[in-house]
């Protein structure tokens, strides 16, 4: 009889635990600032480089398990490269990437390739908002996992 009660107790406990534990694929999308690491950029591109590359685009892939490597090609910013900044966050349930200048006092523009890593991110589906303070923007959907990789056109550059 003792064994029967013990087995009944264990089955009941396992049953309650199974009902009470639900596997969830949802990720906590609480607003938070993400870390921006390894920020670097090219020199101001010359007219020759501009003529051969007619698009502003973003290439991205997973690195270090939970960071997103981003290469932003032909980002139009002012010609004071020491002031290039990247801001990244989860805001209102969306992954935000914003490329700006600290110093807006330069009266000239250049095209730059900007590289960084943002994270840490949970493996999940994200709506990613890409923006440049000078006006370019795009929104994409990415499924962030250990094999994430892609390219998104932000805009065609005018001649």
Strands (E) across 11-64 are located at 32-33, 35-41, 55-63
pLDDT at 90 > cutoff 80? yes
Does the structure show a pLDDT above 80 at 108? yes
**What global pTM score does this model have?**
0.76
pLDDT higher than threshold 80 for residue 2: no
- Residue 64's pLDDT band (cuts 50, 70, 90): very high
Residue 51 carries which DSSP code? Answer: H
Least confident window among 36-45, 48-57, 102-111: 48-57
Taking a C-beta distance cutoff of 8 angstroms, is the pair 124, 28 a contact?
Answer: no
- What is the average pLDDT score of the chain? 79
Q: How confident is the model at residue 154 (pLDDT cuts 50, 70, 90)?
A: confident
Q: What percent of the chain has pLDDT over 70?
A: 75
CA 8/CA 10 separation, integer angstroms: 6
pLDDT for position 109: 84
């Amino acid at each position: 009889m003792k064994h029967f009660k013990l087995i009944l107790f264990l089955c009941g406990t396992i049953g309650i635990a199974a009902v009470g534990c639900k596997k969830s694929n949802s990720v906590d999308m609480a607003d938070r600032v993400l870390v921006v690491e390894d920020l670097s950029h090219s020199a101001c591109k010359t007219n020759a480089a501009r003529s051969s590359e007619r698009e502003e685009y973003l290439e991205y892939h997973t690195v270090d398990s939970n960071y997103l490597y981003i290469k932003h090609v032909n980002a139009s910013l002012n010609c004071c490269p020491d002031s290039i900044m990247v801001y990244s966050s989860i805001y209102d349930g969306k992954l935000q990437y914003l490329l700006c200048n600290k110093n807006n006092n330069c009266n000239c523009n250049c095209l730059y390739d900007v590289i960084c890593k943002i994270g840490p991110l949970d493996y999940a589906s994200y709506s990613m908002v890409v923006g440049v303070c000078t006006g370019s923007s795009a929104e994409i959907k990415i499924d962030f996992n250990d094999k994430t990789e892609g390219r998104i056109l932000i805009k065609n550059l005018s001649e």
